[in-house]
Amino acid sequence: MASFVVRRFGLSPPPYDRSVSQGALRRLGVALLGLVAVTVLGTVGYLLLGFTLLEALYQTVTTIATVGFREVRPLSPVGMVFTIVLILVGVGVVLYNLGVILEALTEGHLRQHLERRRMDKKIESLQGHVIVCGYGRVGRAAREQLLAHGLEVVVVDVNPRLAEEGDGLYLVGDVTDDAVLRRAGVERARALVVALESDADTVYTTLSARAIRGDLVIVARARTTDSAAKMLMAGATHAVNPQLIGGRRLAVFALQPDVAEFLDVVMHEENLDFRIQQVMVEPGSPLDGRALADLDLREHTGGLVLAIRPAAGRPLEPNPPASTVVPAGAVLIAMGTPEELDALTALGRARG
């Protein structure tokens, strides 16, 4: 997979950074392992000197802990030399352990590790969430909009500070690494939003995600028209150029401000009762195979059908005539209150 990307697009993924807390915990693990090793070594040594197992363990612990108790048995010259070596090695290991534990406590690494463990378990339990790759201005805006619609969001960013600013579920890592995508739950996610600073990284991440999940909805941020085309080739469901969209919206506000304001309010205003929403038509639902005139959705649900996509990959048909037959798998673009849209969505579901 990686070799194909390098040949086709001339890309190479940046290295994967590990957090500071992981390094501290690794040092703590090494220190504890060293303490166990010294204890075992001392116990075995005293066993060879003729001590019983309990006596050997007791003598080892009191020696490396420097508590000053008497020897369990009189020591031969060999035993004295062994005890001197054990004191020098054991005391050093104990002091190192104390330093590492103190560092972990004072710098909060243990607390960070526990919080990270809890967050990882939460992410592992998610189903149907959205992963936002890159927490710059575009990624931050996308996350806020998704949260406003009640969706669970996992932010992934290579910069620890940016990822932690989200004050929610996040991972610090390089999303061009398949392992990081899997940790974020890409196999269970509803969609992936790729808003990285580099178009090359966005293409690489899109390729990786598409290889893992063939049916995943991938929305990629593109800086240019050419890069948008490459992202679609790489497997993105949609490639969005925020600068282009922003420029067009500015022009619409200048030419048709009332239309632009209406669309902006309907799509983004949280306090407005009206919404625009897509409704899936499942096979066997009350909508399947019937004409819009026969359904009379405006009368029965209150929702207004603005457009219809007859099948995946087909273009949207705005303002469909009443004679239009709604096939299974179609998508209706409707406007109405949340209650009206819920009623329309219920009609689109298959009857059990």
Angle between helices 225-234 and 199-212 (to 10 degrees): 20
323: Cβ–Cβ under 8 A, 6 or more apart, which residues?
A: 291, 292, 293
Which tokens sit at 156? 């992934």
Q: Residue 57 corresponds to which amino acid?
A: L
For residue 312, the model assigns a pLDDT of 80
Place of tokens 């819009």: 292
Residue 331's SS3 state is strand
pLDDT (tens place) for every residue of the chain, 352 residues total: 434 443 344 444 333 334 445 566 677 777 778 788 888 888 898 898 888 898 888 888 888 877 766 777 888 888 888 888 888 888 888 787 777 777 666 655 566 667 778 888 899 999 999 999 999 889 988 998 898 888 999 999 988 776 666 578 888 889 988 999 999 999 999 999 999 988 999 999 999 999 999 999 999 999 887 888 889 999 999 998 888 888 887 888 888 888 777 777 766 665 666 778 889 999 989 898 899 888 888 888 888 898 999 888 788 899 999 899 999 889 999 888 888 888 898 888 887 6
Alpha carbons within 13 angstroms on the beta-carbon side of residue 171 total 24
Give me the numbers of helices (H) and strands (E) for the chain, helices first please.
15, 12
Give the DSSP letter of residue 317.
E
Sign of CA dihedral 199, 200, 202, 203: positive
Sign of CA dihedral 141, 146, 150, 154: negative
For residue 46, the model assigns a pLDDT of 87
CA 205/CA 194 separation, integer angstroms: 8
Return the closest-CA partner of residue 139 out of 225, 242, 238, 211: 242
How far lies 307's CA from each of 226, 277, 278, 313, 338, in Å? 29, 11, 9, 15, 18
Its pTM stands at: 0.60
Which tokens sit at 276? 């625009």
For residue 195, the model assigns a pLDDT of 92
Instruction: Please say whether the beta carbons of 280 and 344 come within 8 A.
Output: no
Phi, psi of 67 (to 5 degrees): -85, -15
CA 80/CA 88 separation, integer angstroms: 12
Q: What is the pLDDT of residues 235-291, one digit of tens each?
A: 999 998 888 888 887 888 888 888 777 777 766 665 666 778 889 999 989 898 899
For residue 18, the model assigns a pLDDT of 43
- Please count the other Cβ atoms lying within 10 Å of the Cβ belonging to residue 331: 19
For residue 262, the model assigns a pLDDT of 75
CA 3 to mean position of chain CA atoms = 25
Instruction: Please say whether the beta carbons of 303 and 297 come within 8 A.
Output: yes
For residue 128, the model assigns a pLDDT of 92
Instruction: Please say whether the beta carbons of 175 and 155 come within 8 A.
Output: no
Phi-psi region of 313 (alpha: psi -120 to 50; beta: other; left: phi over 0): left
* Cα angle, residue 299 at apex, residues 298 and 303 outer, rounded to 5°: 30
CA 78 to mean position of chain CA atoms = 59
Instruction: Please say whether the beta carbons of 335 and 302 come within 8 A.
Output: no
